[in-house]
Structure 1
Amino acid sequence: MPRIVVIGAGITGVSTAYALLERGYDVTVLDRQRYSAMETSFANGGQLSASNAEVWNRWSTIFKGIKWMFKRDAPLLMNPAPSWHKYSWLAEFVAHIANYRENTVTTTKLAIMARKYMFEIAEREGIDFDHVRRGILHIYREKADFDDAQAVNELLVQGGLDRRPVSVEEIRSIEPTLRSALYGGFYTPSDSTGDVHKYTTGLAQACERRGARFFYDADVRRVERQQSFRIFYASGTEDRHARHHAICADAIVICAGCSSRDFAARLGDRLNIYPVKGYSITVDLDESASQEAAPWVSLLDDRAKIVTSRLGLSRFRVAGTAEFNGLNRDVREDRVKPLVDWTRTHFPGVNTKRVVPWAGLRPMMPNMMPRVGKGRARGVFYNTGHGHLGWTLSAASAEMVAEIISGDLPTDIRKVA
């Protein structure tokens, strides 16, 4: 039975491990954190959103970024400090504007495929993740924004998505708690929401039941390739107390989020992933009045770049913004405040006294498409770079990379000593 090491225990890495186990591989997962789903998969917006599959490669995105560059609470914020990585990424981003329509349609199809796989897995493994299947409602305050969304909607529908325009009156009937002034919206009844951290940890437990081994606090220091791979990692909280280990594998799959770029460089590949920071707040709905005032239908405010999800009776997640500021995980008050203010504006009955802020780094490729496939060296594979759609796409990209691996490394080959 071939041995495969997956680096990364976020939603993509754990989904990849599960897909490989389904095909009969011996799977080990390494992660530098103490538990699974502790980085980008910890507290994201919670949306499983094929309706948010539009890639960002448009001139309007560039112009907004320039306009908002010195506005600290802007939905899209870029640190203008020079950085070769950042500006090379932006140059490639611009080059992919020509592929905007094609990539949006492709991403939509991938998201719809992923939804099917993920729902089947959750049911089969009995994973409870506060799943709410009430659709996603995109809201627009201005006619110009709504008209632009109509053009986007045509691409999403072309990709196979059931998404339709709705009037203000229909919005009120879909989500009665939303009382702010609007022009119109689009509704996708097949989209849903949930707690990505709960889902990922539940899926990791399912993988362990199926025989996978998970090693946490495992900081991969070196990868050697001879007849097989030797992966060297350290475990422990500090270098002077670290214990050093080595594990052998027939193949390696990089699912390491923003760290995938460094791993790829070590393995002879170029992966131009940039860490785009996003923020979220989790509002504790301690009082019955707040529970009644918070929406159950997931929302996406396109102008503010804010999404919401209801995580059970007592939690309301509000997330958004994009910040180009390198490997910076600081939780900035001036970036969190717009999320709180947005909540108070649209849902004044929700008490925001108890709010838990969070920031995470989305691993984005310049074309906004995940990198799924082989590396240059035999036995090296990638499933990474999903950006803001990691949870939405992970079940499908995991199936894709597992199929590629099964073509290169059939499960009946003789185990390498």
Structure 2
Amino acid sequence: MAQQHLIVIVIGGGITGVTSAYSLAREGHRVTLIEKHRYAGMETSHANGGQLSASNAEVWTHPSTLIKGIKWMLKADAPLLVNPKPSWHKLSWFAEFMTNIPKYRDNTVATARLAVAAREHLFGWAEQEGIDFDLKQQGILHIYRDKAGFDHAGKVSELLAEGGLPRRAVTPTEMRAIEPTLKGQYYGGYFTESDSTGDIHKFTHGLSLACERLGVTLRTGHEVARVKSDGQTAHVTLSNGEVLSADAVVVCAGVHSRALGAQLGDRLNVYPVKGYSITVMLNDEQSQAAAPQVSLLDDETKLVTSRLGDDRFRVAGTAEFNGFNLDIRADRIRPLVNWVNECFPGVSTRRVEPWAGLRPMMPSMLPRVGAGKKANVFYNTGHGHLGWTLSAITAHQLARHVAQWQAQQRNTRLVMPAPAV
């Protein structure tokens, strides 16, 4: 019997929504992707740190995170900043975060496995669709200024190795050989040769064009007002009053997934954790020569870097728990610029483009991928700081969940008793 393909609505045109639509379209489903902006990848998938970093798979549910959060609470330029003003959402999120501390080890290993598995799909899709996204496969170097940070990294490396990711310790001399432009004094580092970087926005936009070639309908410039499902048919109401119906709906709406999930009867404790980035424009030959080629992660300042082509240098990081706030604060951008001036003094920071985005973070630090309470409702959201890194594998998993549900539906129809005569 020929497989009947589904009509599927995907809500959200960021990296997870576009990869989900692409994976479903490759299975032959008729997909409509709804995105409120004019183009895909215009919010959190616009200007992140650029790292495809399995080596950054360590989850945050470690006791040290709470200690640092309390210590830095009143420091405006701290890497981790928590607005002390309480809200029920924030309190419930941190309560659930603490219950996941005992799962730190298992969740770190699981995240590493996902990140390694994601590479094959993402690179394969980019090659097949001819997407140029400034891919640079020169590894990621984690840098440490003291013994305590370096020793902790050694323990993390054991967990990453269990998840299938080898990385090696390097001396300060070896660090300078790996990235000669890096200035400063360091205790040591860890280098992951298999990691890479790229421009998430260019990839997301390129894959959205590939989606259209596969028959996906992109409804950009439309916001979702309501979504509901009876388990058989899903109905999505747009802000202009138009109602779209489908066999299934997939919620990939980032930090807005919590509200949409509530309409569908599901609890998704996704919290918006703001991150900042600067894109340093390398407008002269001296800056281009002085900027690093190898991607870096500074564990002390929680900053990551990526070189995007010849003339852009991205620096990103920090975590701010401040609700749905997208203000670009000067006191949060200044440390990023100062870091560039300190570590790469030959790079001109005369022209810097600041940006802020809201990471959709689950308390477990693992994404929510799979079915909801209603049989035809699915989720692919809550990727936190690793949305770019994990997007391809979770989209692949999502397509498998939809296929399993479709097979169950087909089997149910086959075993239904014949009507009485």
- Which category of TM-score, normalised to the shorter sequence, fits these structures? over 0.9
Partner residue in 2 for 1:215: 219
- Equivalences for residues 239-258 of structure 1 within 5 A: 243-258=240-255
Hey, what's the Cα distance between the residues in 2 that align with 1:139 and 1:47? 15
Hey, what's the Cα distance between the residues in 1 that align with 2:81 and 2:290? 31
What's the secondary structure of 1:342's corresponding residue? helix
Aligned-pair CA distance for 1:159? 0.7
Partner residue in 2 for 1:297: 294
Hey, what's the Cα distance between the residues in 2 that align with 1:222 and 1:291? 48
* Aligned with residue 128 of structure 2, among 121, 124, 141: 124
Query: In the alignment, is the contact (CA less than 8 A) between 1:294 and 1:347 conserved in 2?
Result: yes
The amino acid that maps onto 1:231 is: V
- Equivalences for residues 129-148 of structure 1 within 5 A: 129-148=133-152
Query: In the alignment, is the contact (CA less than 8 A) between 2:229 and 2:264 conserved in 1?
Result: no
The amino acid that maps onto 1:383 is: N
* Aligned with residue 232 of structure 1, among 220, 237, 255: 237
Hey, what's the Cα distance between the residues in 2 that align with 1:380 and 1:225? 7
* Aligned with residue 327 of structure 1, among 321, 324, 329: 324
Hey, what's the Cα distance between the residues in 2 that align with 1:282 and 1:210? 33
The amino acid that maps onto 2:113 is: K
Partner residue in 1 for 2:154: 150
What's the secondary structure of 1:409's corresponding residue? helix
Task: Give CA deviations for 1:77-113 in whole Å, capped at 9, x if unaligned.
Answer: 0000011100110011010000000000000000000
Partner residue in 1 for 2:340: 343
TM-score, normalization: structure 2? 0.95
Query: In the alignment, is the contact (CA less than 8 A) between 2:82 and 2:320 conserved in 1?
Result: yes
Aligned-pair CA distance for 1:22? 1.2
Hey, what's the Cα distance between the residues in 1 that align with 2:358 and 2:365? 14
In structure 1, stretches of 5+ residues that fail to align are 235-242
Partner residue in 2 for 1:387: 384
What's the secondary structure of 1:51's corresponding residue? helix
RMSD (Å) for aligned C-alpha atoms: 1.3
Partner residue in 2 for 1:283: 280
Partner residue in 2 for 1:190: 194
What's the secondary structure of 2:64's corresponding residue? helix
What's the secondary structure of 1:224's corresponding residue? strand
In structure 2, stretches of 5+ residues that fail to align are 411-421
Partner residue in 1 for 2:416: none
Aligned-pair CA distance for 1:225? 2.6
The answer to whether the aligner puts 1:111 opposite 2:108 as a matched pair is: no
Hey, what's the Cα distance between the residues in 1 that align with 2:228 and 2:68? 44
Count of residue pairs brought into register by the alignment: 406
The amino acid that maps onto 2:404 is: G
Query: In the alignment, is the contact (CA less than 8 A) between 1:2 and 1:411 conserved in 2?
Result: no
Partner residue in 2 for 1:237: none
Aligned-pair CA distance for 1:254? 0.4
The amino acid that maps onto 1:340 is: V
Hey, what's the Cα distance between the residues in 2 that align with 1:49 and 1:286? 27
Query: In the alignment, is the contact (CA less than 8 A) between 2:290 and 2:347 conserved in 1?
Result: yes
Partner residue in 2 for 1:409: 406
The amino acid that maps onto 1:107 is: T
The answer to whether the aligner puts 1:314 opposite 2:311 as a matched pair is: yes
Partner residue in 2 for 1:362: 359
Aligned-pair CA distance for 1:216? 1.0
Query: How many percent identity over aligned positions?
Result: 59
* Aligned with residue 24 of structure 1, among 28, 32, 47: 28
Identify which range, 339-348 or 141-150, moves more after superposition: 141-150
Query: In the alignment, is the contact (CA less than 8 A) between 1:25 and 1:411 conserved in 2?
Result: no
Hey, what's the Cα distance between the residues in 1 that align with 2:356 and 2:227? 30
The answer to whether the aligner puts 1:62 opposite 2:66 as a matched pair is: yes
The amino acid that maps onto 1:177 is: T
Identify which range, 186-195 or 29-38, moves more after superposition: 29-38
Task: Give CA deviations for 1:18-75 in whole Å, capped at 9, x if unaligned.
Answer: 1101111110000111210011000000000000000000110000000000000000
What's the secondary structure of 2:242's corresponding residue? strand
Hey, what's the Cα distance between the residues in 2 that align with 1:340 and 1:10? 27
